Structure 1
Amino acid sequence: MTDEVPGARAGTTEPLEGDGVTAGIVRVGDTVRRPVRPFSATVRAYLAHLHDAGFAAAPVPLGVDGQGREVLSYVPGDVPREPLPAEATGEAVLVALAGLIRRLHDAAQGWEPPPDAVWGGLPGAHTVDLPPVDEPAELVGHRDYCPGNVVFRDGLPSALIDFDLARPTTRLYDVVNALYWWAPLLDPRDRPPALAEAHIPRRVAVFADAYGLTGGQRAELVPLAARVIHRFHLGARAAARHDPVFRRMWERGVRDRMPRAQAWIAVRGPSIAARISGRTVL
């Protein structure tokens, strides 16, 4: 595929700001151009399946251009930056995001990745023994619901971008991943100001109800969250040793935030479990 991609207007190239993890991303008209990575072809196959299954809230894969960059459709909307602004922290946001993820999962259910599938991951992850948290896999999920990957329209989550960490996983892992960022499952010192005093068990319950978690999934949510946060800590530390971008994130607070999150979920997990199971919470 050349630069003459349908919808791309000549002379409208502009860099796209993100979290800095992937360099060289630009917008060309109504398309986004990104460096090709080992997992790019697998992710494009996944995105193509999602659209074929009726999930339109993700970029459309358009191939590779004349400069060797992968081409995706540009997803219009607003992407919040951390710390989350107050207008992105309401319970209506949780309901919309939970519904969006549920639709993604339903569209992904049953898709068989190609035999030569390659999946992305954090740099340095291969150097540490990361405990498995999402096996056996049920489907391919997004697995990275940080604010920079959620597109808002009319004040609510409406689409997902940046599928670099997509891989076979479970529905509950994806839910926990989203809750880590959006409930959030963090010590009050590390939350956005608007959520410093938030009632986290209620917010988790709002999300769980909107997604439609089963009784079994609700029972496993908190134990899984504790394991996921521990794995996040190990993965972030390994990435900081191997990549300057992740090293900066680590030094700017991740190294303190992750142990605090582990301690917080150990203390507050029982109240979350009680709330989502319908038991009385004082």
Structure 2
Amino acid sequence: MDADEPELVLASDGVTRVLRRGDTVRRPVRPFTATVQAFLAHLHERGFDAAPLPLGHDEDGREVLSFVPGDVPVPPLPGWAVTLDALVALARLVRRAHDAAEGWEPPADAVWGDLPGATSPRPGPTDGAPPGAPPEAVLVAHQDYCPGNVVFRDGLPVALIDFDLARPTTRVADAVNALHWWAPLVDPVDRSPALAEADAAERVRVFADAYGMTAEQRALVVPRALWRARRSPARMLAAAEADPVFRRWWDEGVKDRAPRAAAWLAAEAPRIAERLR
């Protein structure tokens, strides 16, 4: 690769820039970079090629990943990104990633990314589960399916990028993260226009069907979603207090959207649970 090849800015939050050089992506190294690269290598070894390939470091000490071509939707989401076909494809993509991740043993010195200032734990095998429910198996998964981390081609999700928040979790807890963004599990006033009238309960069912969730997994979706939503405002506030980028997002509306989502989900929970049965 020619070191003089121009670098194009793919993303920037005002502090960190993600650059493209040819068919590669260059990013600053963070404490969790080595762990994420090991996880990505495992996914590829298991045949999951719908994620960046880890390529080590460049001459400037930056992380190097393969560039994943395609379309990454940005808010307000276009209609082609929120079709039921797209939702089905996303659920199947998440299932493939989970199947590939299952059984991976992280290195003993693994470091995981999280929100700045985070102190509360991510959902574990029993968090949010109804009393008496058997614990879920733990696996490492993506945990951040915001639209900017899903690559589309021809109107369908084909790959996942930005594994910075990947960490040990459970299949249902990770699926709930995807559903938060793509059902979506937020108040209609905070959705992109293309999803303003969407039947979130029906979209949750479509996702669960496409993923191939068992009856036991379906029974955990709503409790885990409620667990996540109740804790989200405090987690986002802690991130805002620790990081200026998150402070900007908090002030620009997250401070209102997060508690509104929790209230909306609490009201809709019975209908979502019924649709999942």
SS of the residue corresponding to residue 245 of structure 1 reads helix
Equivalent position of 1:11 in the other structure: 5
1:26 is paired with a residue whose SS is: strand
Matches within 5 A, 1:80-159: 80-126=73-119, 130=120, 132-135=122-125, 138-159=138-159
Match of 1:61 in 2: 54
Q: How far apart in 2 are the matches of 1:21 and 1:55? A: 32
Report the Cα offset of residue 88 of structure 1.
0.9
For residues 1-282 of structure 1, the aligned pairs below 5 Å read 4=1, 10-17=4-11, 20=13, 23-126=16-119, 130=120, 132-135=122-125, 138-277=138-277
Q: Deviations over 1:158-195 (max 9, x none)?
A: 00000000000100011100000000001110111111
Contact 1:10–1:29 (8 Å) recurs in 2: no
Which stretches of structure 1, 4 residues or longer, exceed 6 Å deviation after superposition? Answer: none
* C-alpha contact 2:9 2:17 (8 A) present in aligned 1: yes
- Tell me the secondary structure at the aligned position of residue 62 of structure 1: strand
CA, structure 1 residues 9+65, in 2 after alignment: closer, same or farther (shift >3 Å)?
closer
For 1:214 and 1:105, the matched residues in 2 are separated by 14
Summarize the Cα distance change of 1:166–1:174 in structure 2 as closer, same or farther, 3 Å threshold.
Answer: same
**TM-score where L is the length of structure 2:** 0.93
- Aligned equivalents of 1:193 and 1:24: distance in 2? 29
SS at match of 1:266: helix
Contact 2:91/2:211 (8 A) holds in 1: yes
Question: How much does 1:63 deviate?
Answer: 0.4
- Conserved 8 A contact 2:122-2:169: no
One-letter amino acid of the counterpart of residue 186, structure 2: L
The one-letter amino acid paired with 1:24 is R
Shift of 1:131: 5.0
CA distance in structure 2 between the partners assigned to 1:135 and 1:231 by the alignment: 17
Report deviation, 1:83: 2.2
| Identity rate, percent | 62
Specify every segment of 5 or more residues in structure 1 that has no aligned partner in the other structure, as ranges. Answer: 278-282
The 1:132–1:46 alpha-carbon spacing in structure 2 relative to 1, beyond 3 Å, is closer
Aligned alpha-carbon RMSD (Å): 1.4
| SS state at 2:140 partner | strand
Could you tell me how far apart the structure 2 residues matched to 1:145 and 1:9 are? 32
CA gap 1:22/1:152 in 2 versus in 1, 3 angstroms:
farther
What displacement does 1:9 show?
7.7
TM-score, normalised to structure 1, is: 0.91
Give the distance between the partners of 1:132 and 1:158, measured in 2 at CA: 26
**Contact 1:32/1:74 (CA < 8 Å) preserved in 2?**
yes
Quote the Cα distance in structure 2 between the aligned partners of 1:218 and 1:135: 15
Q: CA deviation at 1:197?
A: 1.3
Q: Check conservation: 1:239, 1:247, Cα contact below 8 A.
A: yes
Contact 1:9 1:30 in 2 (8 A): no
Uncovered stretches (5+) of structure 2, i.e. residues with no partner: 127-136
**Per-residue displacement from partner, 1:2-41 (whole Å, max 9, x unpaired)?**
xx4xxx68423111125x2861211011000000000000
